[in-house]
Amino acid sequence: MQPPSHATKSPSSVPNPIESSDLAAAYEQHRRGDLDAAEAAYRRLIERRPDAIQPVQLLGALLVQTDRPGEAVTWIRKAIELQPTVAEYHVNLGSAYSRLKNYPEAITAYRAAIRLRSNYVDAYRNLGSVLVKSRRFEDAIEPLSKAHDLDPTHRQTVLRLARAYLRAGQAENAMACFDAVVKQHPNDEPALLGLAQSLLNVDDASPRLLDLWKRLSELRPDDHRVWLNLSSAALKNRQPRLARDAVERSLELCPGFGPALCQLGIVESSEGRFESAETHLRKALATSDELGDPVDNESSARSVSSGGSTEGDQDGEHDFVDSASRELGNVLAILGRTDEALRIWKDTLAAKPDDVDLRLNIGFVQLSNEDLRNGFEAYELRCQTKNAPRTFDRPRWDGSHQPDKHLLVHCEQGLGDQLHFVRFLKDAAERVAAVTLLSHRPLTEMMQVSDSIDPLGFDHLEADGDPIARFDLHLPLMSLPHVLNVTIDRLADRIPYLHSDPSRVDSWRRKLESVFDDGIRIGIAWQGNPDFVNDHQRSFHLRELDPIARLDCTEIVSLQKGAATDQVRQVDFEIQTLEGLDEEAPFLDSSAVMQQLDLVVTSDSAIAHLSGALGVRTWLALPFNSEWRWFRGRTDSPWYPSMTLFRQPSPGDWKSVFQAMATRLEQGLDQPADATSAS
């Protein structure tokens, strides 16, 4: 083993020289790796001259090298006592303390070296490493950055800095560092691993994320952690089959691996296999040897799905246990076992009282259980998440009466959310001088038309992205129920609150006379926004409507827009499509067409909120895991009196939903909801 580079001064250049030939011979033995002989020589020299600094400090360095840091500290401290201004001695002392895991003393020693020599790259590099070991990731960034500035070509420094950024939650900076190494060394596995882990931590789907983990699975086909991370990357990129195959491969390589059991439960939950998901999540939590032995972070793909990377320490254990607990709570809530879910989340929350996601989960259960007061209060925590609504340099309105203030209510989330929550504008308008609605741009014309027939409650309407007139207070649209203290019995007070342009209604009435005969006129929509994370669960293929479409008493017209309209050519039942529908602006024509229909059948999308707000009879097809706003177990909707809910009796079972609708249609539209609901 080579002596440390900072201990290689020649004997003639060091303080208090002794016989140069004896010291040089001992040092040459040290340099060649004959450590026993070098140690004996250093000790003989020290016996002859106890105040000789060079053999003292070199013996200390050798003892560090031979993993005797406790003894090394004694000799290095003696060297520092003899000559306290030599920065190398303090670095050696820091290394000894680091080996002893006495990180506070190591940090003190490295800082002393830096005070003595402000451009000492090894001191900065080692200080950063010890701060990382001390889990002071943000503190480590500064010395590692300084080391990188002093020696930009040192690969290990860049990797250490990147990992510090990653563990400090600065994934973008971490990616930049890992990218810099990969550009110079395209096959550098530690850099590729770090870059892949950084992308995984960003929480966004990207082809690059998936490609990196696929590449790493080829480079390390027997690394169960790589396959685990590939599964997580695949799930983020909505490739559930690959996600399942990859996590099953991880478990083949390492049976009983806790993080992989957790990931398998998460994959199964995304597939709607909730009972099986519960089984695997409970197995994950019961696993005693969750992560195995720590592995050096430069050679291992330590990472935990939904929990972030574990850079060579035991963080991953906490991450995957936390992820498994959260997901188990989600699964139990979906299965209707909300008491169990709340107990799990509250136990987890006891250790993390400020955890926003957990508190939001509890709020969603409260909303599903029709506890609007507590649920909407918890829903305000969305303002602390990465998907928080925008903010303005004005105070947020608290719902109080302020008759001299101008309120800006601004849209958030999707088009359907705006259609759903604009019902509360009138209540807000009663408490302030004026209201400006900052609307999603595609909905401005629908808002104007409705307001011209029956005022919605705004005094000014602005499209998102346009300059906003003066205002004093602001509030996200979906915060209105909270500040207004709405109760479930008042949700439908203003139905209908959206309206169609009368001239457009007349125009479509004439057009549809040639389309419909004497059957039940049904408008259908089957696909929501495909970019919505759970759209694969809430939307269904047009073919699922076959039981309704084949009834002699029904006449079907499409209200669907977007790519899903291609499905019309994939079914063998008759469905009318309407040329020019909503070409001028979203929903202007759809709302007019709905006025000519006996029924709208739709997935949980903006069409459902439009027809419900118009007061049109609507049958809403809901997945087993439906959103909080449809509450739990109901066949009616307190939001929309004209709406009936048909729920999947089990995950993925659309057949039962539409068969129930068909039975109901055969019996007549006025049949009571409970008689034929699929729920």
Q: Which helix (H) or strand (E) holds 503?
A: helix 502-512
Edge to edge, the sheet with strand 402-410 lists: 460-463, 432-439, 402-410, 473-476
Q: Report pLDDT for 22.
A: 86
Partners of 555 in the beta sheet? Answer: 521
- Rounded to whole angstroms, what are the CA distances from 20 to 12, 13, 16, 281, 635? 7, 10, 11, 68, 95
pTM comes to: 0.75
To which residue do tokens 């929480």 refer?
Answer: 203
Q: Report pLDDT for 203.
A: 63
The pair of three-digit structure tokens given for residue 575, joined into one six-digit string: 């469905």
Q: Report pLDDT for 409.
A: 97
**What's CA 126's distance to the chain center, in Å?**
33
Secondary structure (DSSP) of 549-611: HTSTTEEEEE---SGGGGGGGG-SS--B--TTTTSSSTTHHHHHHHTT-SEEEE-SSHHHHHH
Q: Report pLDDT for 217.
A: 94
Ordered mean pLDDT values, 10 residues apiece, the chain (679 residues) = 40 41 89 92 90 89 92 92 92 94 95 95 94 93 94 90 88 87 87 86 80 93 95 92 96 94 95 93 79 37 36 48 91 91 91 90 94 96 92 95 96 96 97 97 96 95 92 97 95 94 95 87 93 85 95 94 91 92 94 96 97 97 94 95 95 95 90 51
**AA identity, residue 516:** F
Instruction: Sort 576 into a burial class: Cβ within 10 Å, 0-12 / 13-18 / 19+.
Output: middle
Q: Report pLDDT for 310.
A: 33
Q: Report pLDDT for 19.
A: 53
- Contacts of 374-382 with C-beta under 8 Å, sequence gap 24+, read 375/628, 376/481, 376/482, 376/486, 377/482, 379/478, 379/479, 379/482, 380/479, 380/482, 381/356
Q: Report pLDDT for 180.
A: 87
Sign of CA pseudo-dihedral 513, 515, 517, 519: negative
8 Å CB contact between 389 and 408: no
- Compute the distance between CA of residue 400 and CA of residue 403 in angstroms, rounded to an integer: 9
Q: Counting every residue, how long is the chain? A: 679
CA neighbor of 622 nearest in space, from 651, 647, 656: 647
Partners of 303 in the beta sheet? Answer: 309
3-state SS, residue 474: strand
The single-letter DSSP state of residue 423 is: G
Domain ranges of the chain: 402-486, 502-676
- Compute the distance between CA of residue 229 and CA of residue 302 in angstroms, rounded to an integer: 9
pLDDT digits (tens, 9 = 90+) for 254-264: 999 999 999 99
8 Å CB contact between 397 and 475: yes
Q: Report pLDDT for 2.
A: 38
CA neighbor of 447 nearest in space, from 585, 344, 560, 330: 585
What is the fold of 502-676? Answer: Rossmann fold (3.40.50)
Q: Report pLDDT for 646.
A: 97
